[in-house]
Amino acid sequence: MTSGLAILAGDGQLPVQLHQAVPDALCVVFEGMAHQLNAKNIQICQFEKLNSLFELLKHHEISHVVMAGAMSRPQLDPAKFDAFMQNIAPDFIKVLQKGDDTVLRYVITLFEDQGFSVIAPQDVALELTLPEGLAVGALPDAILSDLAYADQILHQMSALDIGQGVVVEGGHVLGIETLQGTEALLDFVATTQSSLRSSQGGVLVKRPKAHQDMRVDVPTIGPQTIQQVANAGLSGLVISPENVLVLEREKTIFLAKSLGIFIWVQEPKL
């Protein structure tokens, strides 16, 4: 896709890579939200004035929208609401009290109702995912039992809309991903006292939630993830093929190889 695309950008490298893939895309960031974009065509919008955003997209003849990057839930100021936001405010505020999947599905519906097609980051830049197989490293003998346990946990977490990652080591759960994200999970694991750890090294398993809309909040790893996995004393990580984004792929693979970290791309076997 080379035209008619808008990138609604949060923080992190994903919006940067998408803009590199489609340099003429319209880039939209939100007031008060961090981003790393360095583009000439950045537009700044407010959550309280969604109608202005929709009008901007229509003015630029945008047909497709991709949502990318980390973004915290906004602290809305009702005094700034435009007429559109005033109309949806009761439903929107209720939705913001629910899990990420519910919030994102609601937001997608808002854009679709305005005639925009919301697409996935991996549809914009196909090189963002990995095919099934051992991408790098060697698998420890004990990985299969830890992986099976991790996938059971992720399956249960999906039903509760909690998170997309879990760390298991020697049959014990060292942590699960919650609202704070994978970085916080791995930092927590790194501080776990050695008496509670196994000498065999554990595994981070990161997958989409069951029935997740793969257009938004797609699980993501990158060089920082690999470094944190190593710092946490884990042996490696397992991700799902085609459904987990790998940022800076060459750098990620190289770093994993350098640090002795395996990356196994495999579907869950439940």
pLDDT, residue 41, reads: 75
Other C-beta atoms within 10 Å of 201: how many? 21
Share the mean pLDDT of the chain: 93
pLDDT average, residue stretch 226-242:
96
Q: What is the pLDDT of residues 70-119, one digit of tens each?
A: 888 888 899 999 999 999 999 988 988 887 788 889 999 999 999 999 99
Q: Mind listing the domains of the chain with CATH numbers?
A: 5-124 (3.40.50.20), 129-265 (3.40.140.80)
Q: 131-140, 164-173, 187-196, 206-215: which has the minimum mean pLDDT?
A: 206-215
Confidence check: pLDDT of 2 > 60:
no
pLDDT, residue 101, reads: 81
Q: Are 234 and 203 in contact (CB under 8 A)?
A: yes
The pTM score is: 0.86
Q: 67-71, 106-110, 148-152, 189-193: which has the minimum mean pLDDT?
A: 67-71
Q: How far is CA 160 from CA 157, 178, 207, in A?
A: 5, 11, 15
pLDDT average, residue stretch 185-190:
97
pLDDT, residue 141, reads: 85
What phi, psi does 6 have (nearest 5°)? -120, 135
Cβ neighbours for 61, distance < 8 A, ≥ 6 positions apart = 4
pLDDT, residue 186, reads: 98
Cβ neighbours for 191, distance < 8 A, ≥ 6 positions apart = none
